[in-house]
Each structure stands twice: as C-alpha cells, then as structure tokens.
Structure 1
Amino acid sequence: MSDLEALAAEAYVYGFPMVFNLNEVDRFTREGMGSLQASPFNGFSHAIGLAGPKDTFVSVNNDTVYSIAQIDLSGGPLMLRVPDTDGRYYVLQFVDAWTNNFAYVGRRATGTAAGSYLLTGAGWSGEVPAGVTRIAAPTAVATIVGRWACDGPGDLAAVQALQQGTTLEPLDPATSPPAGLPAPQDGVDGSELLFFEKLRTWMRAFPPSAPDRAYQERFAPLGLLDETTPYAAASTETTQALTSGHRLGKERVEYATTHSGSPEQNGWKLTYHAFDYNLDFFETGALNTPPVGDRGQGRRPHRACRLRPRWTVG
C-alpha cells in the first residue's frame, strides 16, 4: 500500500460520518424517509402513526412517534417553540453535520413545560430575547430528531397535537432563505472520487472544532484542502490511490461495525456509549461525560464506526 493510499483510507474513515449524514439530510429534504414526508430545511416532518414492519428507519421503536427537521442557519437564527407536554416523555436531539450530538431538549434535559429556544450559528452575536434559551449549533446545517412517547394507537391524537405545537420560524421575518447544502463541483466522475469531492466541499462549508481542523491538515496531499476540486482532472496515480483508499477505508468501517469491543447479549451488540464521541460542543442538555476515546487514542475510527443509526443504510 502506498502512502497516498493509506492516507486516503484514513480520510475515508474520518470523513464517512459527515458525507453519509449529509447525503441523507439531502435525501430527507427531497424524498422523506419511511412514513416521514419530505420537508424543506427549517420545517418539521411529523410521523402520524406508530412504526410498523414497512418502516426501515434504523433502530426504530414502536412506543415513540418521530418528528424530524433539517435546519439551515445560514440565513439567520431560528426560533424553536415546544409545548407543555404535561409530564409526557419527549426528546429533541440536536445533531451537527459531523454527527456530534450537541444539545437535547426534553423531559430529562429541560423538563416538560413549554419552552422557547433560539437556534443560532456558532459565531452569531445578536441579542437573545427575554425568556429564550440560546442553542448554538456547531455547523450551519444540523438535524433535530424528535421522539414523543406514545401509549398505543389510542394515544396518537394527543401526540399529534403536541407535534403541531412544536414550531420553527425565523427570528427575523426578513431572514434570507437558507443556502442549503453546497453542491460538489461538476466534472468529477466515479463514486469514489465523488466521495472525496463531497468531503472536500463539506469540510470547507462545515468546519469542525479547532483540534479537528488541525488534524485535517494531514489530508492536504489528497487535495481535500483545495479551494476548487482537484478531482475533475486527477492524475492516474491520484485516481488509483483514492479509489484504493476508498475501498480500504470502507472495509475498515464495515469491519468495525461488526467487530467492536462492545459487550454482547443474545447476539445483540450493547452499544451503551455509542454516541459518546463529542469532545467539543456542549449546549443545552448535552453532558460533558468521558468520551469513547480521545484524539490520542484512536478517536477517529471510533467516531466513523459509531455513526448514529438515524438513517437507513443502502
């Protein structure tokens, strides 16, 4: 294996969570997912029934009803309002472009009284309205995954009323439309090179924490730090290295998902700490608990192999 192939494999493992995640964010806004209808950025899509055999949502359960929103803060802050659930369990989970879980709103984190939350970009410096809690998203594009406890079909009407009372709206009515996901540049052929072009494009649009940005410098020889795509006219040597690295990285991710050190019971992997890889962003409800690993102990493979099971693979 050449040095460039090895670096490409490492970049695949590092970048897979974001590329896979944002592919699914894009698909959700256009096609929806299962019983959840497509919804544009900054609007909720609410499931109207309990999950059944035809729902292919990964790790789906049958005692909660889902509400999902893809948010884009490029045009300005959003106001999130949640109703009083009168003690009913619910959770809104906030996930950035890199799949870090950076905030939670719900019974365990904030209680069940009605609340208002201002969702902003990380660098926003405006005034937060009185009585409103700010949640700063690490990346302009993020996802809200909502779950509402439901005690069977007879409880659906009450859940649906709570869903309709959960709203997103711009803080400023004159806010610019969301920019959406930047598209990879044209002229890049092949799924392997397109993966790296998406990673290059989205790394620039959604930079991670400062330590991760420093880590990304190692990928400069692959062209991942270039301002414009180097992959439309890549040399034969580079194309071969990226293609081989893509294959090797994919094999590593797939192996790690089935050969992790997690305990097993009756054939099931018990991944109690599968999401504990956020080292940098702790907004409302997010606990700064000891992570799965750290930057000096193989954290990147942990993160890539523990991609949150929110989306259907395939």
Structure 2
Amino acid sequence: MAATSARALKLLSIFGIGATLTAGELAGRVGASVRTVRRDIETLRDLGYEIEAVRGAGGGYRLGRGTRLPPVVFDEDQAVATAVALQTVPAVLSGIRENAARALATLHQAMPVRSRLHAEAFTVSSARNYWEFPAPPIEAGIVAAVGGAISRRHLVRVDYTGDGEPVTLTLEPHELVVWAARWYLVAFDPGAGRWRAMRVDRCTPHPPTHVPFDRRDIPHGDPVVFVMTAHDRGDAAAEWPCRGSAVLALPAATVARFAPGGSTVEYDTEGTCRLTLGAWSWPGLAGLLLTFDADLAEVEPAELRQALRCLGARIGRGLESPAAPRPGGGAG
C-alpha cells in the first residue's frame, strides 16, 4: 500500500506539469510496469482526480482541466530542485532573498518528512566566479511586471535605455530568457516591424496596458537560440581594469553566441564583426580574443596589441624548447 501511494503521488506531481504522456513514458518515470501505471491511474480516478485519456498521435494521459492537486505534492527529486532554486534565485533577482527564504521554510513545514530531509540536505551558497562575468541581480518587480504581461498576452510599454537616450516602446512580449546571469525579453516591436532581444534590467515598465495581442512564431523557433545569436541584444561592455576591441573574421551571430558576458558585438560585414570586451589584465583580454580561433584586425588599444605580441612570442619559445624529462620518468 505504501508503494502504491508513493507511486500515485509521483504520478500526480508528473501530471501537474500539464504534459500529455504515454503509459510507457509514465512507467519509465515511476519505475513500474505499464500495467501497474494504468492500475495507479484508475486508483487516482477513484479518488476523484480527473485523468484524461488522449487518443491518436501524441496521445496518452493528462490531468483534466480544472483538476486541483493536493497542496505540496513533491517527490524527492522535486524537493531537491525546489530547495536549490529558492536558494540560488537571489543571485539573479534582487529584493527577493527574504521572500525566498520564507518560501523555503514554508515548503519545508508542508512537505512530508522524507521529502523534507532530501530538501534540507542541500544548503547552497552562491559566490562570484570571475569567468562568468555576471550582471547585478535584477529587480524582482521588473521581472514580475514583464512576466505578467507575457502570461496575459498583453502589450507592454517600457522606457528602454539602450546605447543612447531612453526611448518609450510598445512591445508584444513573448518570452523571458535568463542567460549568463542576465535577463532578456524576447519581444516583437510593431513600431519597427522586427523582433528584439532586450536586456530586462534596461527596461522600466509602465502601468499595464490591458491590450491583448496574438502570439507570433519566434525566430529560430526557440527564444534561447534567438537571444544567444542576437548581437544587438542590449549588452554593454562591463567596467574592467583593461578593455579593448578587435574585428574578428566571424559572423556577428556566431561571436554573440560565445562572447563572454559584459561584452558587446557590433555587425561589420556578413563575415566579420567587432567584439569589445574587458578583463582583469591585458594578457587575459588577449587570451579571450584568441579563444575564437579567428583572424584579428583593427585591434585596439596599443596595450592589447602588445599583449598579443607577447603571448605569441611566449608560445613560440615554448614550442621551440625541448621537453624537459619528468622526475621519476623512464621506460615502463
């Protein structure tokens, strides 16, 4: 009976994501046979949960519309995911640390003992890694305002600070993407007739418009790919002790995908672009440019050109010198 109840709870948590899954897929997730899963589904139906059978291609089982799940139905994996998420979210959202801590404490109290033990086993502290080039945490209220417009499919008006003076835009917001600890809004700009990837921390939302819009197909069919390949996504070069630029013999979309956070990519030609970035030293900045394995031109400033020359000479000397014998080496 205990095993049956545990499987039923896990099925409920799986159905809670709104997906339609076949009996085989459900069996794989709960570690039971297809026959057992079908029996558990009948048990849930007997308990009053509306589990729909969807026939045809892409069919399977799903939770009926309007069905309410019991509060806090977590299996062990979900308990861990929730605990980690609530502890790490302050790294990308500001003004939310206390609320996240209170939410985690509330969830711990409502969880069954077994799930709570798994959740409490994960205590996470976030620390800055200088290779990540993270952005400061964004105000939670801005994310809530933009995210609310997305979920309601309402136009959103924002004051946007780009490279020049702030402008007021009316946008069709479609998705929020977090990449490299930065928040981006994927939106269609009817005024310009084009899609935009925009830094959310540069947006100041106006009051809700309550004006609906029809969703469009996002370029590439994937908001993440669109953001990663958009060279004009509103990034700004971070303040570092050393900052420089170079024209790379690569398309802007390619460089935008792999450029470190806190850098900017400017379109030059179909096959070239200018990358501006910073680092803690000129050799470090030169090394970042070399990771693109592309021809460089118009390198600025002079300190960066000198650092590239020094790296080239150092590497050349290392390749020319014979390998020194290792201590304890010999024929094996």
- Greater Rg over alpha carbons, structure: 2
Give the shorter-chain TM-score range. under 0.3
TM-score with structure 2 setting the length: 0.21
| Larger relative contact order (CA 8 Å, sep ≥ 6) | 1
TM-score with structure 1 setting the length: 0.22
